[in-house]
Structure 1
C-alpha cells in the first residue's frame, strides 16, 4: 500500500500495560488486527492470531514482529464461518497460551455492492453475516468458560453502524448487530467480572480500503472527517490496549469510537 500503514512498529511507546496477559485476536494478519497484535506484544502480552489460511505469509510477518518484542505469537489459520471452527480455535489458543485473558473479535468481510438491495447476492450476504456476526457469537460462546474475572472481550464494530453507506448495506447492518450483541454480553457477563466493549473505527487506512473501493474514493479517503484525514491502524490499536488493560476495569458495555471526529451515538 502507498503510503504504508503504520501498525506501531516504531511509533508505539510501550508502558507495560498488558504484562502477563494472553490474547486471542481474530483477523490478526493485517490492518487493525495486525496493529492490535503488535501493540499488545509491545505492552507485554502473548498473542494468538487467527486468519484465513490464504493469509499465511502476512501472518508470519506479524509473528516475526511480535517475537522481535520478546513475546509469543501463536498462528492459528481458521475460517471462522462454522461453530466447530470457533470451538477449535479457542481450544488451540487456550492450549498454546496456557489460558485466555483477552478476546478480540476483529475478523470481518466487506465487499461493496453499488446499485441497491437487488444487487446483493445471497452468497455474499451469507458470507458477510457468517464472518462478521455468527463468528463473533460462536467465538465468545466458546471462550466464555475460559475467562476469569478481569478478562476483557473486545468486538470491532464500525462507524458504518451509525452512518451506513448504501454500497455497504450488508456490512453496515452486521456492525449494528455487533453493537447490540456487545451490550447484551456486557450485561450477561458483568456478574462474572468479564468486561465486554466494542471499538468502532472510522476511515482507517488498511488493505480493506483499496480492495473495496475505486480509485476516486481511495484518493479522498478520510478527508470528510473533522480531522480531515484517515486514521492509521496503530491509532485504533490504542483503544484496544486501553480496553484490554486494567486501566479500563470499570469500562464495560460501551462503544469507543476512533473515527476522526464522527459521532458514535
Structure 2
C-alpha cells in the first residue's frame, strides 16, 4: 500500500461499537483509516472490508495501546502505509463487571486506568509528534472518547471506569491548551447509554433497556450518533472549537 497524501485517521478500538461506526463514517467522508484492535482480528478485518466496499482505503492493525512499544510501531506502520496521521480518535477502553467500590480490587483499578488512560496518552504523544507545526507538521485533530460517567460517577456500577474517564476529561482540557498554538485541536465526546456490546463486559447486556425510562429522551443511543459528533469535531465546521465536550447521553 502506497502512502496517501490527504486525510489519514487512526481510530483505536475500532473493531466494534463506537469505534467501528466512526471508522465507517470517516471512510465515507474521505479519510484513509487505520482500524486498531487488540483481540478481534476477524471483526477488524470485516470493518476494513466494509470500507473497501464503499471505495475507501483502510488497514487493520493489532496493538495494545497501553504498551508504548506497540503504539510506536503502529504509528510507524501508518507512516509507511498511509502517511502521517492527520486525525486521531482515542476510543479504545475497557469496562469490567459492575461492582461497588469495596468490591473492586487494586489490580482491577490499575488495569482500568492503564487501559483507559495510558493508551490515550501514548497515542496522543505519537500523533502530536507528527501533527504539530512545532515539529514541522501541518496540524491536525484529536478526539478523545470519554463517558457521561465522568460527570455522573457511575455509583454502584463502575466508579473505576468513571474515574478513568474523568482523567480523560482533564487530559483533554490540558492538552488542548498546550497544542492549540501548534495547529492541533483536541476535543472529546461523552457518550452514555449507547447500544454497544461493552455492556456485556459489565455483566448486563440489557442494561440500556433496563434504565432507558430514566433517560430524558426515553431511549438508548446508537454508535452512529456518537460517530457523527466525532466527525463534526474533526471537520472544518468545528475549526474554532478546541478543549470542549459534546455529551451524547439522551439528556442525562
Normalised to the residue count of structure 1, the TM-score between the two structures is 0.87
Q: Note if contact 2:209-2:220 (Cα within 8 Å) is conserved in structure 1.
A: no
1:97, 1:134 → 2: CA distance?
A: 25
Q: Note if contact 2:87-2:234 (Cα within 8 Å) is conserved in structure 1.
A: yes
Match of 1:250 among 240, 245, 249: 240
After superposition, the C-alpha distances for 1:52-91 in whole angstroms (9 at most, x for unaligned) are 1x20011011011111111111111111222222212222
Aligned to 1:158: 147
1:245, 1:134 → 2: CA distance?
A: 26
What count of residue pairs does the alignment treat as equivalent?
A: 242
Q: Note if contact 1:24-1:100 (Cα within 8 Å) is conserved in structure 2.
A: yes
Aligned to 1:207: 197
Q: Note if contact 1:113-1:120 (Cα within 8 Å) is conserved in structure 2.
A: no
Aligned to 2:134: none
Q: Note if contact 1:223-1:230 (Cα within 8 Å) is conserved in structure 2.
A: no
Aligned to 1:57: 42
2:211, 2:50 → 1: CA distance?
A: 28
Return the offset for 1:218. Answer: 4.7
Match of 1:92 among 39, 58, 77: 77
Residue 33 of structure 2 is aligned to residue 47 of structure 1: yes
Aligned to 2:22: 36
Normalised to the residue count of structure 2, the TM-score between the two structures is 0.91
Aligned to 1:75: 60
Residue 110 of structure 2 is aligned to residue 126 of structure 1: yes
Unpaired segments ≥5 residues, structure 2: 132-136
Aligned to 1:16: none
Match of 1:231 among 193, 198, 221: 221
Call closer, same or farther: CA 1:161–1:28 in 2, change over 3 Å: same
Unpaired segments ≥5 residues, structure 1: 1-18
2:31, 2:67 → 1: CA distance?
A: 28
1:207, 1:223 → 2: CA distance?
A: 20
1:257, 1:216 → 2: CA distance?
A: 22
1:149, 1:171 → 2: CA distance?
A: 34
After superposition, the C-alpha distances for 1:175-196 in whole angstroms (9 at most, x for unaligned) are 0000000000000100001000
* Secondary structure, counterpart of 1:154 in structure 2: strand
Aligned to 1:197: 187
Return the offset for 1:136. Answer: 0.7
1:216, 1:195 → 2: CA distance?
A: 36
Residue 164 of structure 2 is aligned to residue 174 of structure 1: yes
Residue 121 of structure 2 is aligned to residue 137 of structure 1: yes
Call closer, same or farther: CA 1:126–1:47 in 2, change over 3 Å: same
* Secondary structure, counterpart of 2:35 in structure 1: strand
2:249, 2:209 → 1: CA distance?
A: 18
Q: Note if contact 1:74-1:93 (Cα within 8 Å) is conserved in structure 2.
A: no
Structure 1 vs Structure 2 CA RMSD = 1.6
Q: Note if contact 2:14-2:36 (Cα within 8 Å) is conserved in structure 1.
A: yes
Return the offset for 1:236. Answer: 0.6
1:233, 1:191 → 2: CA distance?
A: 32
After superposition, the C-alpha distances for 1:150-207 in whole angstroms (9 at most, x for unaligned) are 4100000000000012220110001000000000000010000100000110110001
